[in-house]
Amino acid sequence: MDVISVIRTKRDRGELSPEQIDWVIDAYTRGEVADEQMSALAMAILLNGMNRAEIARWTAAMIASGERMDFSALSRPTADKHSTGGVGDKITLPLAPLVAACGAAVPQLSGRGLGHTGGTLDKLEAIPGWRALLSNAEMLDVLDSTGAVICAAGDGLAPADRKLYALRDVTGTVEAIPLIASSIMSKKIAEGTGSLVLDVKVGSGAFMKTVEDARELAATMVGLGTDHGVRTVALLTDMSTPLGRTAGNALEVRESVEVLAGGGPADVVELTLALAREMLDAAGLTDADPAKALADGSAMDVWRRMISAQGGDPDAKLPVAREQHVVTAPASGVLTRLDAYGVGVAAWRLGAGRARKEDPVQAGAGVELHAKPGETVTAGQPLLTLHTDTPEKFDYALQALADTYDVAPAGTAYEATPVVRERIA
């Protein structure tokens, strides 16, 4: 086997054999295939695609590059959720303890933000003392004792994917749907969960801008899960407007706690409950009522135990940015648009996100939304509040917001896009 023949096969729109796929993933992981050779293959895949058999084998080869976790000793069925990322997407924070309160075990391996999309681990690290890095034994212990754990994936989980993702990020091949799907699913399958619900975002603030692309990605990942024996379902959810009323780490933790306390923004509550019902159904817990678990405080109890088990103080005050800047409504009327991408870029520029994986983030930075599309605003009233420790960043963030919102005359009809747009199973 040689890498040139593998590249040529896909370059010429051929189908890679199982043996070619197994060899090239193993050889790249070991360093026998050079970065420039793998980047050529990734570009050929981006341009010419892969069929279902190729994607399934590619995913299996990445899983085989590392360890597989085993939760069979747990007394509860396992269910996990993965989001493709968005702006204000704090859903994992209330969702994991909520599903655990209903009887499932939730092993949630999460990531950090990069660019305009926030990261679950960055948000939780705004809580004093909370730890993202757990050994496999610690992860299992937290999961067994509380029912839910949110932590970083260990180095032994799908190392081929970690290496390939870093390469795709710098070679313009991130957008290849076969590689996106196999990247996500290799980690989730290796994680060992019994069932998986995918939250595939679509809209300006999402990676998939069109419903057609989001549907293709969702269907590909559902197929991969099914092929590997994991019960998988996907929801296509809207990301044209930020979720909730905050985008930023500590700001989103605070809003998540409001949801667990029985309040919070309606769209966050709606999506949290929709995903919870899918996870519980996939885990076979069809009689559980997640709405009741929010209302009676049992989800909040799990949250507090989960945060404490990972070294955090659930009663500690969350960081607050030193400086604020208020953006006011330019006219009176109906807010008809608040673009998720613009808000996400503004939050990122204020310090809530990072341009490189090694960059630090500001826990208190971000954007607070005082109105959402469909609501009436008055000229001069606060529309957005920007938060940062570094006020010199305000101008740069304001540039991202320059064409982010529209206000139409009072009485203008507004039709909201549904939070959940489609279900794919």
CATH 1.20.970.10 residue spans of the chain: 3-49
CA distance 399 to 209: 22
CATH 3.90.1170.30 residue spans of the chain: 323-408
Question: Do 246 and 369 form a contact (C-beta atoms < 8 A)?
Answer: yes
Tokens of 395: 């101008």
Helix H segments across 174-297?
177-191, 211-227, 249-260, 266-282, 290-295
Residue-level pLDDT, tens digit, the chain, 425 residues:
899 999 999 999 999 999 999 999 999 999 999 999 999 999 999 999 999 999 999 999 999 999 999 898 899 999 999 999 999 999 999 999 999 999 999 999 998 887 788 899 999 999 999 999 999 999 999 999 999 999 998 888 899 998 998 888 788 888 899 999 999 999 999 999 999 999 999 999 998 999 999 999 999 999 999 988 999 999 999 999 999 999 999 999 999 999 999 999 999 999 999 999 999 999 999 999 999 999 999 999 999 999 999 999 999 999 999 999 999 999 999 999 999 999 999 999 999 988 776 778 999 999 999 999 999 999 999 999 999 999 999 999 999 999 999 999 999 999 999 999 999 99
Beta bridge partners of 63: none
The residue whose two tokens read 């980690």 is 187
CATH for the stretch 3-49: 1.20.970.10
Element (H, E) at 421: strand 420-424
Q: Tell me the pTM.
A: 0.92
CA distance 188 to 149: 14
- CATH 3.10.180.10 assigned to domain 80-154+187-309? The reply is no
The residues annotated with a catalytic role in the active site are 82, 161, 168, 183, 187
Residue 86: name the closest of 256, 235, 200, 253 by CA: 200
Fold of 323-408: Aldehyde Oxidoreductase; domain 3 (3.90.1170)
CA distance 51 to 103: 38
SS3 at position 200: strand
Q: What is the DSSP string of 142-197?
A: HHHHHSEEEEEPPTTS-HHHHHHHHHHHTTT-TT-HHHHHHHHHHHHHHHT-SEEE
For residue 282, is it left (φ>0), alpha (ψ between -120 and 50) or beta? alpha
Question: Do 38 and 160 form a contact (C-beta atoms < 8 A)?
Answer: no
Phi, psi at 322, each rounded to 5°: -75, -25
Residue 343: name the closest of 126, 118, 123 by CA: 118
CATH 3.40.1030.10 residue spans of the chain: 80-154+187-309
CA distance 403 to 342: 8
